Amino acid sequence: MSRRASELTSPPAFARRPSALDSPTSVSRRQSGASSRRPSIDPSRLVPMDKAHHIGGSDDFNVVFVGAGNIMFGSDEGPWNHSFRFEHKLGPRLKVVALIDPAVERATTVLQKKCETFVRSAYENTRVFKTLEDFVRNMSKRDMPRAIIVGSPPMFRGTIQPGRDIESQIMKHFPGVAMFIEKPAATGPASELPEAFQVAKAINESGTICSVGYMLRYLRAVQMMKQIINENNLTVMATIARYACAYEAIAKPDWWDKSKSAGPIIEQGTHFCDLSRYFGGEVDMSTVNAHSLEWDENAGHLSKMSVDETAIPPENRIPRVTAATWKYDSGAVGSFTHLVALQGHDYSCELEVYADGYQLKLVNPYVQPVLYIRKPGSDIEEMHRFPDDDPFFSEISVLIDNIEDIEEDPETAQILSSFEDACKTYELTWAIRLATERNRKIKKDAEASTTAA
């Protein structure tokens, strides 16, 4: 269905509170954490974009985008493209009032492309600024955003240091305005972890609506797994996750440099650490142990890297395999193996969740999710496919529904990934990296003392 057709035929959507932004009840409800919304989503309500109507109403919905890169405007690397999902969710109401990016030329180019298409009305008045402060200095009252979407690199967020504190800047200049923050919550030395939690506390205390980009939580398959666990009152016994990326397709030099991207667990494996936590619950960080296969070990040689690794200082080169285990507070056990081993394009990723009598196995969540379910009383695995599922759209759709505070639909989901929760995933990924580095040092020290003897 074309955009135009859906505009003409869509029924009036759910009624909204006219001043949801300022509603004291909604703010106090969020602050108290007493949400009437469901902590999970009925999978049948997660519909692909072409079957969803854009949200009702006729007033402009002002949005600020921070970052004009791949996550915001798409690339060949994957299905992500937030602007596209905003266009579909908000229809003609979308007005991108500012695009913040120090790479002004890149920002201008993506806007020009948008203005050549039928979504022109959302972008024809968008202004480009190098920083959020520049926008604040130059904005008029009419530009006040309803949401600020942060898709800049993670080194610029999750701390309270100037220039790396976008969340605090947003809360200072735009109190009450909703935020969407891409994953991971931060990237910096492990010593800065408490700062990320400080940011989370400030977000919670201010009652700001904030969603973090762990979109796999919004997969229909993932919500079906949640539904089975909830409806059968199951206790998770173990999570087993495996994430094998196709390294040949990863051409960003920064990705291969731990000093820039913090390594593949913090940057990429984070999605599966997060999903593991979504099912297993809180992790006892003191139990996290992990081993790695490193670039300088015989088995770690890769023949098809598309970057020149010799340009990266040896101490910053990334591990090829990381295998971690931990205990959840519940007693359940988690394990995660990340591999930089496959060539070609597609990743090979699986998550298994076990409970008494049950095996829930999620396969290929990025490309074509399949869920295999084994239940008590049978050795047969049921297979479920989820064609056309779009978790990126569902994530944005839920965010907008929460901002608009739809009253007439008690089933509207709550945001599935808060900043505080994302900090806990960030903490787990750091604990895994530190454990591998600890174990590598023990091995190296042992080798050195054998050589010396």
Ligand X SMILES: NC(=O)c1ccc[n+]([C@@H]2O[C@H](COP(=O)([O-])OP(=O)(O)OC[C@H]3O[C@@H](n4cnc5c(N)ncnc54)[C@H](O)[C@@H]3O)[C@@H](O)[C@H]2O)c1
Binding site for ligand X (CB under 6 A): 66-71, 80, 100-103, 106, 151-154, 156, 182-183, 213, 215
In the complex, least distance from residue 215 CB atom to ligand X, rounded to whole angstroms:
5
Contact (Cβ atoms closer than 8 angstroms) between residue 92 and residue 60: no
Nearer to ligand X (CB atom), residue 155 or residue 238: 155
CA angle 201, 204, 206 (to 5 degrees): 105
In the complex, least distance from residue 338 CB atom to ligand X, rounded to whole angstroms:
15
Q: How many CB atoms lie within 10 A of CB 356?
A: 10
Give me the amino acid identity at 71.
I
In the complex, least distance from residue 164 CB atom to ligand X, rounded to whole angstroms:
8
φ, ψ for residue 337, nearest 5 deg: -120, 125
In the complex, least distance from residue 68 CB atom to ligand X, rounded to whole angstroms:
5
Nearer to ligand X (CB atom), residue 52 or residue 216: 216
Task: Quote the CA–CA distance of 383 and 364 in Å, as a whole number.
Answer: 13
In the complex, least distance from residue 187 CB atom to ligand X, rounded to whole angstroms:
8
Give me the amino acid identity at 29.
R
Nearer to ligand X (CB atom), residue 255 or residue 295: 255
In the complex, least distance from residue 407 CB atom to ligand X, rounded to whole angstroms:
30
Nearer to ligand X (CB atom), residue 225 or residue 422: 422
φ, ψ for residue 307, nearest 5 deg: -120, 160
In the complex, least distance from residue 124 CB atom to ligand X, rounded to whole angstroms:
21
Structure tokens at 443: 């091995």
Nearest-CB residue for ligand X = 69
In the complex, least distance from residue 73 CB atom to ligand X, rounded to whole angstroms:
8
**CA 164 to centroid of chain Cα atoms:** 19
Q: Largest alpha-carbon pair distance within the chain? A: 82
**CA 244 to centroid of chain Cα atoms:** 18
Nearer to ligand X (CB atom), residue 103 or residue 285: 103
Nearer to ligand X (CB atom), residue 250 or residue 370: 250
Nearer to ligand X (CB atom), residue 68 or residue 200: 68
Structure tokens at 155: 């080194």
CA angle 312, 318, 324 (to 5 degrees): 165
Give me the amino acid identity at 440.
R
Nearest Cα to Cα of residue 388 among 144, 79, 166 = 79
DSSP 267: I
Nearer to ligand X (CB atom), residue 66 or residue 200: 66
